[in-house]
Amino acid sequence: MAESNTLRPIYRLGDDLRPHEPIPRSHYLIIAAASTLSLLALWAGLSYTGIVQPTYFLPTPGQVLATASRMLLDGTLAVNAWASIFVIVTGWAVATVMAVPLGILMGSFKFFEALFEPVVNFVRYLPVSAMIPLLILYIGLGVEEKVAVIFIGTFFQLILLVADVAAHVPKDLLDSAYTLGASRRRVVTRVLIPATLPGVMDNLRITIGWAWTYLIVAELVAADKGLGIMILESQRGLRTDRIFVGLVTIGLLGFCSDYIFKMVHRVALPWSPRIR
């Protein structure tokens, strides 16, 4: 073996390009870092050299950092971020409290599927933005309207995702509980519901991510603070640096919520097959 190795190159790209094969962790980290750094480098290159004209189209990383630190210090970033977090978490939490039980019912009982599916499948294709006029009419321009946008954006999706999780609980799992003497009620409370928890957790994480994408829509109308309205107003003043700060903040907050959910999953459901 050794003699044929003398001409082997240190690294062959082909080794890392086999479908479904693992690659060394060090390679993974290097590739991930390279991708992030090239994106930053591209941004820096395009903005500092002034290739992109007019220059306010693309602020430099330095400008964005400076704006960010100024907004952090004077508190505007925190005020806006907090307003948005409040709207998103409230809308999403209300959606969760209602969608999870309904989804479990819908996925587990054909009766409830027949009851809810036509409505849910119809409403979920309606664009949330198209309902804003109605929402304003019904509940006004306050924070409730913004929470309602997030609620509508996530509720109907979540109910179907949870229904799918519940429908995929293996039948044999329920049947074994029956043969161990469990009543129908016990099978639901002691087997069906716990069995859905990992899938439900995953979908809660995914839908709160979607909630962030509805932020601009939610803050489109009559918002006085929030990251969405901050971005919208920055456009008027050609403040692309502030838009960038807003975008990066949303990205980071989404990243954090994802991380928090993964940690909660790990701590609350240590038995979950999705955790190694």
Partner 1 sequence: MRFRTRRGIEVVAVADLSLDVADREFISIVGPSGCGKSTLLRVVAGLVRPTTGDVRLDGRRVEGPGADRGMVFQSYTLFPWLTVQGNVEFGLRIKGMAATERTRLAQDYIEMIGLRDFANHYPKELSGGMMQRVAIARALANDPEVLLMDEPFGALDAQTRIIMQELLVNLWQRTPKTIVFVTHDIDEALFLSDRVYIMTARPGQIKQVLNVALPRPRSLEVTTSPVFVDLKRTVLSSIREESLKAISLTGTE
Q: Residues 87, 222: contact at Cβ < 8 Å?
A: no
Q: What is the footprint of partner 1 within residues 160-179 (CB under 8 A)?
A: 170, 172-173, 175-179
DSSP state, 237?
A: T
Q: Between residues 27 and 190, which has the closer beta carbon with respect to partner 1?
A: 190
End-to-end CA distance of the chain: 36
Q: How far is the CB of 170 from partner 1 (least distance, A)?
A: 7
- Asked if 268 is part of the footprint of partner 1 (rule: CB under 8 A), the reply reads no
Rounded to an integer, what distance in angstroms lies between the CA atom of residue 243 and that of residue 230?
8
Instruction: For residues 107 and 168, give the distance between their C-alpha atoms in angstroms, rounded to a whole number.
Output: 8
Residue linked to tokens 């209300």? 94
Instruction: Examine residue 270 and tell whether it contacts partner 1 (CB under 8 A).
Output: yes
Q: Does 36 bind partner 1 (CB under 8 A)?
A: no
Minimum CB–partner distance for residue 191 and partner 1 (Å): 7
Whole-number minimum distance, CB 21 to partner 1, in Å?
24
Among 9, 22, 54, 181, binds partner 1 (CB under 8 A): 181
Write down the least CB distance from residue 203 to partner 1, Å. 18
Interface with partner 1, residue 191, by CB under 8 A = yes
DSSP 3-state of 276: coil
Pick 174 or 215: Cβ nearer partner 1: 174
Q: Where are the alpha helices (DSSP H) in the chain?
A: 25-48, 61-74, 76-108, 110-123, 132-139, 143-167, 171-179, 184-186, 193-213, 215-218, 227-236, 240-268
* Closest CB 267 distance from partner 1, rounded Å: 14
By rule CB under 8 A, what count of residues binds partner 1?
22
Whether residue 149 contacts residue 93, with contact meaning beta carbons closer than 8 Å, is answered with: no
**Tokens describing residue 163:** 């229904």
Per rule CB under 8 A, is residue 185 in the interface with partner 1?
no
Cα-only R_g, the chain: 24
Interface positions with partner 1 (CB under 8 A) = 170, 172-173, 175-182, 186, 190-191, 194-195, 197, 269-273
